[in-house]
Structures are given as C-alpha cells and as structure tokens.
Chains A and B, each alone.
Chain A
C-alpha cells in the first residue's frame, strides 16, 4: 500500500481529538482494564517499554525503545520448567493471561509482532509465546523517522494501522485518535471523552525516511538469491566484532538457548531459556566442535538471509521491519541499510557484466 493509500485510509476512520490531559486520563482509564505497557524514558538517550504506574511518565514522542516489544511475549530470560533433581519431578510455571494493553506502539513494532506470531505458530505452535499473546490490545502512535528508521524500505508505512485498535496521531497540543477497529471504538465509547476533530487539527504530514534501501521491497528477496558469495560479506566481517547486539535487539529475531541452573541446595533448579544470536561464536557449533559458520562474514550473511530470504520464502513477508535497532545500537556503526545497498550495487554490477 502506498503512503497516499494509507493516508486516505487513515482519514476514512472515525476520529476524536485528545489534548494532553485527556490523553493522560485515557491512559489512567486503560490502567483499570489491565496492565498498560508503554514507552518510558530510561537514561539520557534511551527508552524502554515498561508497565505504566504513573500515566504522566509515558513518553509518546520517542524514537525507539532499546529492547523490542518481543520481550513481552518472549522474555529475555524465561523459566521453562522448575525441577527437582532428587525425585525427577517438574512443574511448568503458570503464564498469566491477564489483559494487557500496549500503548504508544510504532507501526514497525506492531508488524514485528505479526512476524513473530508467524514464527511461533508455524510448525509446532508454542504455548509459552502464544499464551502471553492472549488478551492483548495494541494502541499505535505515529513516529517521526530518525536517521536509522527505514520501515518504508521494507514496505511498512509510518501510519500502517494493521494490528492496532486505536491509532494516535500527533496534533496541536494533543493527538487525533483514530478508531481502527470495533474493539477500539468500544474503548473510546466507554471512556466517553475527547472532542470533535476540526479541520484545523486534521493535517496529516508526510514524514519521510532518511535511510532508504535502493530497491523496492518486493525486489529484495530476488537480490538475496544472487549475493551469497558477494565480497560485501567479507567487508562487513572486517568491521564487525561479533558482539551479537544486532541479534538481541532485533524485533523479529527469536533464537534462543536453554540451560539448567541449580539452587544452592543442589536439589531444586530450573530450566531457563534466554535469547541467543546467530552472530555469536558458538551458535552453529556441533558436538564434535565443528562450527558451520565459523567466521563473521558467514554469520552476518546468515543473519541478513534470515531477515530477507529464508523465512520470507515461506511467509511471503520480509522479516525485517525497518526499526533500525541493529544499526542504531551497533557499536561498530554497521548499517543494515548500507549492507543491503552494497549488495544491490554488487548485484547490479553482476547483471551488467552478464549483459555485456
């Protein structure tokens, strides 16, 4: 869908005007319905999703959170079972299905959850993830792309409302709140506040992405069928230190490792899973010590192929949502957009050679 389509669709939704006070009152209203999870400031430059305890602490004009929303459905560390070594018995911890409302979510983030849904449902549907996904509502907010966002290049418009029940769009001293679904409409009806939107407020800007992939997103998987042996991977390997930050902060990565830990009584313990990453040293090592991706070039390649080709072949969607976290937080300043553009250049050169 092009931006103009998204804009006209957005304008077709019923909407209200919330000033800042009403917005905070609305958050407090939501807090009576369940846990509200929203972006908060952490440190000087960063944001993170936290359960709201005070509506005034919610930050809606944020760039991106450090950890993606996947942490709500697949926690960084999670106990799979609690066990007792002596009697060989175990229990699976209860996972709460209490209602959760995610407030102030960007469109790329919402789409990352759709990608994760695919990954956890496909094959054997996993109860840990899917139980946490029950009873969730998502309320979106528009964002102003910074130099790292590139969601437009992977086909996700800033104002994509798919997945949201309500969508907040910044306006003078407040927000225009769009009713995306009946669920959203019911919330607004029950809340009962907000005023009519006058033309003065309804000005939807066309925010532009600064970071861009050169080719249309439909063509990205095609590129990846031709660049497996590209020199670009060696170039990336020169700069990359293999710290794994790009994997861990990726909103669609879900690889994990599992370990048993034991209590000091050396009798009780738990089997924990925690986030792992294909960029890390030992990820592809097998029992005999052989490592099938033993260098940073092949590891970077695997990471990008998972985003643009491997899962895409099956799901028909790019599994990169353009949040820009991998590039924003890479200590070596490696940019995913630059890698893809370099691959595109390489591919174009290859093609020109073939024509000549």
Chain B
C-alpha cells in the first residue's frame, strides 16, 4: 500500500444541479433538461449515463438522451418506475437534483464515421439512442445512411414526438415505427420491432447497427440482424443493469467478469457473445 501511487477520489459526492426544463413526453415519461452549476460541462459521450440522486429518495442510473453538441445543458428522459424516478416526475423547473458522472464507455462514434447507421430502439431504448442520433445528425456529413427503427407497445408510448416529426421531414433520415398493440387511430405499421428488419435493404458490410431496448428484445433483434447477414462486428448493444455506484465497485451490474457501468453499457456484439447472462 505504502508504495502504491494513486489519486484517491470522493466517488459518491453528487454535483447539485438544476432542472431548466421539463417536458411531459408520454403518460409515464418526462424529459428533464439539466444544468450543472456555473455552466460546467458534463463532457459526455453518446450512450453514457449519470447517477441521479434526490436526497431522501436515493440514486439511480439514467442515460443521457441528448447529444454532447447540446452542452452545457443535457437531457435525461425518465420513466416513472421507481422510488427516485417517481419523485423526479414531481420536480419542476428550478428544482435541484444531484448528478454524478458521466459513467460508462458510450458509443465509439469515431468508429462509425463514413458508415451507414441502423438504430434499433425498443421503448425507452430510444432515450439513450437519441444522444447518438442527435450527434450523428449534428455531424450529418460524417455518416452515410441514417435508418431509425423504433418500436413501442402502444401509440401513446411514443417518445420525442417533436423530434420524430422532424426526422420524418428530414430527407436524410429513414424512420420506421412499429406498434405492438395499436389503437383505432394508429395508421402505421403493426407488430414487434423485429418485423421492421427483414424488408430493409442494407449494404450490410458498411452498416453499423445499434440495439437498445428492454431485456427481452435483444435476442430477437440479433436473430433478425443475423438473417440480414449483418456482420457481428458491426453490431453494438447497450445493456441495462441496476448500477448502484457507477464506479465499478458495488457489483450489482456485473455480468461475468464485466462491470456494465465501466466497460459498458455499450458493448460490441462479439464481446457480448463471450458473456453469459448478458442478453
């Protein structure tokens, strides 16, 4: 111990930040825009997450849904599902909350440059993906085709309808939405997200696919991509686990020898294949 040189860190001190905007996206999801104090920049990569805390209500990992190009402000899109998120949904503009991070690896955007990108997003999985979509669209000329596949259970669960409208109008974006359980007003496609994959025409060797969604979705999307002959090396997944610390200590997010909070949440598919208990 005496001869080890390292800089020890206070890992659990949150930065008290302020909510600058709140937007109700669906019945259960809200988008919060956050400002760190004194115009500090979060300095995140698409796909990373932060640990959000509210005193008395605990802490939870929440992925960042805005692109770094939005700095110094950033967005968190939150489903009201637990102790912390329930309280978060009751906060308003000007309320404070604690932020630690950013944590995790995020997407290696430089490896994606020049490639076609296929975003596969199930449900709330659109939130972390949106940080990457926004980044790609902000640097549109660096990338090839942009194909977004989005599936939700019902039309009322569709997130980011404003952005979706913009994407629909954007000639450089190909967007497909499929609904599992449509209502009478739904005129679009019906079915689980995997049904959107077979009809696609892809230059698979030059296509990067990202998959983010609920745990049950991964296996089926991977099978569908395999059917399209998308090489495994071109596939990236973001995995959800219940990180308690975000700093590779508490053990909750561990898959085999891997801490999702450190080596993930974004994983290259060949790596995920080596892991058991991953998807």
Contacts and interface: CB of A to CB of B under 8 A. Distances in A.
B59 interface: yes
A127 B55 contact: no
Interface string A79-119: 01101110011101000000000000000000000000101
Interface string A259-286: 1101000000101010010100001111
Contacts of A298: 277
B202 to A, nearest CB: 30
A278 B60 CA distance: 19
Contact of B276 (A80, A127, A228, A285): A228
B57 A260 contact: yes
A311 B244 contact: no
Contacts, number: 135
B55 A290 contact: no
Interface in A227-257: 228, 254-257
A276 B58 contact: no
Contacts of A75: none
Interface in A28-63: none
Contacts of A292: 241, 255, 277
A120 interface: yes
Contact of B11 (A119, A127, A133): A127
B273 interface: no
A328 interface: no
Nearest to B61: A287
Contacts of B276: 228
A92 B56 contact: no
B80 to A, nearest CB: 11
A305 interface: yes
A218 interface: no
Contacts of B4: 117, 121
A64 interface: no
B10 interface: yes
Range class of the B interface residue count? 35 or more
B248 A124 contact: yes
B255 A85 contact: no
A313 B262 contact: no
Interface in B27-71: 53, 55-60
A278 B55 contact: no
Given A88-B55, A290-B215, A305 B13 contact: no
B251 A254 contact: yes
B257 A121 contact: no
A131 interface: yes
A332 interface: no
A331 interface: no
Given A256-B249, A276-B251, A313-B257, A124 B11 contact: yes
Contacts of B251: 254-256, 276, 278, 283
Contact of A254 (B9, B98, B249): B249
A90 B248 CA distance: 24
B168 interface: no
A126 B8 contact: yes
Contacts of B11: 124, 126-128
B244 A285 contact: no
Interface of B: 1, 4, 6-14, 16, 53, 55-60, 81-82, 96, 98, 214-216, 240-242, 244-245, 247-252, 254-257, 259, 262, 276-277
